[in-house]
A and B are shown apart, each in its own frame.
Chain A
Amino acid sequence: MATLHTRASARAMLSPAVLLLLAWMLIPLGMTIYFSLLRYNLLMPGLESFVGIENYQYFLTDPAFFDAIWNTLRLVGGILLITIVGGTLLALLLDQPIWGQGIVRLLVIAPFFVMPTVSALVWKNMLMHPVNGLFAWIADIFGMQPIDWFAEAPMLSVILIVSWGWLPFATLITLTALQSLDSEQREAAEMDGAGPLSIFFYIILPHISRALTVVVLIETIFLLSVFAEILVTTNGGPGTATTNLTFLVYAQALLQFDVGLASAGGVVAIVLANIVAIFLLRLIGKNLEA
C-alpha cells in the first residue's frame, strides 16, 4: 500500500515538470517540424505550400553543411578541452592555502557574468585587433609580429573568447568538488610516498570526475548553440571557417527569413545534438548512475 501510495504521489510531483516540458517541446518543436515541410518565406507571404522534404534536401546539401558540423564539433571540443583542463588546474591552485584566496576567486568568476555580445566586442576590438588591440601593443613592445587573430586562427580566436566566459563555471564546480575531498586520504597517500602526479591521477581525479562530467554535459548543451560571439567577430568567415550549425540556421532564419529552411535546419540540429548527447552519455554515463 505504502509503496503504491508513494509511487502515485511521486508521479504527481513529477508530472507538472514533465507536462510543461512536453508542451514546450511539442508545440514549438511540432510547429517547427510542420514548418520544415512547407515552402514558407516570411518575405514572400501567400506562397506557402507543402513541399515535403525539399527543405531538408536543400539544407543537407548546403555546401557549408559539413563544414558547419565539423566546426560545431571543433568549437565544442576545443572549448571543453580548454575549460576542463584550465578549470581543473585553476581549481587545484585555488584549493591551496594561498593568501587572499577569496579575492582571487572573485576575480576568476567575473567573466561568467559578462554577456556574450559584450565579451566578443571587447575581445575583438580592444584586445585582439592586430593594429589597435592591446595584444598587438604588447607584442610590439617585445618586438614580435602581432598575431592577426581572426585571419590566421579564426576558430581558435572564437574558442578562446567563449572559453574565457565558461572557464569560471568549470573552475567553480571543480573547486567545490575538490574541497569535499577527504584530506586524510590524501595525507595517507603522501605518507606512503606517492608523488603529486599519482595523487592527482589516483585520488583527486576519480573524486572530481563526476563534477567534470557535469561540466561537460551542461557546457555542451550551451555550446552547441554558440552564436553571438561568431556573429560579432567573424560573421562565420573567412570562408566557412567559423560557421557552425547555429550560424547556418541563423542565416536562413534571420537573413533570408526562410522559415521552412530554417525549421528544417533546426530539426537537423536537434537530431545531431541528440546524437552527440547519446555518445557523450555512453562515454561518461557511468558517472551519472545513481
Chain B
Amino acid sequence: MARELSPRRRATLTTAAWTIGFLIFFPVLWTFLTSFKTEGEAIAIPPSFLFFDWTLENYSEVQERSNYLRHAMNSVIIAFGSTFLGLLVAIPAAWSMAFSPTKSTRGILMWMLSTKMLPPVGALVPIYLICRDLGLLDTRSALVVILMLMNLPIIVWMLFTYFREIPGDILEAARMDGASLRKEITYVLVPMAVPGIASTLLLNVILAWNEAFWTLNLTADDAAPLSAFIASYSSPEGLFWAKLSAASTLAIAPILVLGWFSQKQLVRGLTFGAVK
C-alpha cells in the first residue's frame, strides 16, 4: 500500500488533497460558523470568517423554541429502528440468494430495486389513508416500517453483493473438519459477514436520518424527527440564516459524529464485490 514517493511529490499531493477536502467541507464549515453570527452578520458582504462577535444567541433561541432532544430521539429511533428491522428481514434473504442462487435471483433483486422507483409524492395519499385507518399517523412505528420498506431493497442488495464474496469453499472446509453448524456459523461465517453488515447498517442509518419526505408528511408532533425540526427554522418571513444554521448544525452533528467515528467500519464493507 504505502508506495514510495519523493517528499516533494508527497507534499504536492498532500496540498492538493487538503485543498480539495477543505473546499468540499467548506459549506458545512460555513454553516457552522454562521450559526454563531447574528442574522445581520450572516448576510453581510464582505463576509467575516472568524472575526465577528461570536454569539450563542441562535442556539438559545432554538433551545427555547423546540424540544431538540425529543426530535433527536425520534430520529435515532426511526433511523436505527428501521435499519435493524430491515437487517432482520434482509440478512436471511441476502444469505439465501448469495449461497443458493437460482435462475430467478437476479430478477428478484432487480424487481426489489425497482420498487424504490415510485416517486414518494405519488404514493402519499394512499399511504396517508392507510396510516389514518390504522391509527398510525404521527407514530414512530409507522415511520420505522415505512422507512424499512423504503430501504429494504438497498439493504438486501448491499448484503447480497457482500455475502457473495464469502467463498463457499470455506464453508465446505469447515464442514469437512467436522465443525457443527453452530460452530460453523459462529467462528466462520459471522466474522466474515460482520463488516458487510456493519457498513450496510451505517449507510442505511444515514439514509434514514436524512429522509425528509415521509418523516415530514406523516408526523405532527409526537413522532416528528429532526427533519421537522429543520422545517420549523427554514424560510420564515424575515432573515433566518443564522438560526437555520444553528438548527442544521444541531441536526447534522449526531450523524456526522457517528459517521466520522465509524468511518472505518462504514468503508470496510462497502466493497460491493470489488474485492477479489
Contacts and interface: CB of A to CB of B under 8 A. Distances in A.
Contacts of B115: 21, 24-25, 29
Majority DSSP secondary structure for residues of A touching B: helix
Contact of A28 (B16, B45, B97, B127): B127
A273 B118 CA distance: 8
Interface string A83-100: 000000010011011111
Nearest to A224: B117
B122 A98 contact: no
Given A207-B274, A270-B117, A104 B17 contact: yes
Contact of B25 (A27, A110, A187): A110
A197 interface: no
Given A99-B10, A137-B47, A214-B272, A127 B27 contact: yes
Given A117-B212, A118-B251, A125-B241, A227 B117 contact: no
A235 interface: no
B118 A108 contact: no
B216 to A, nearest CB: 9
Given A17-B89, A106-B260, A126-B241, A164 B27 contact: yes
- Chain B interface: which size bin? 35 or more
A117 B27 contact: no
Given A14-B96, A24-B115, A126-B30, A113 B252 contact: yes
B271 A211 contact: yes
Nearest to A96: B13
A176 B267 contact: yes
Interface of A: 6-7, 9-11, 13-14, 16-18, 20-21, 24-25, 27-29, 31-32, 35, 42, 90, 93-94, 96-101, 103-119, 121-123, 125-127, 131-132, 134, 136-137, 164, 167-168, 172-173, 175-177, 179-180, 182-183, 187, 207-208, 210-211, 213-214, 217-218, 221, 224-225, 227-228, 232, 245-246, 249-250, 253-254, 259, 262-263, 265-267, 269-270, 273-274, 277, 281, 288-290
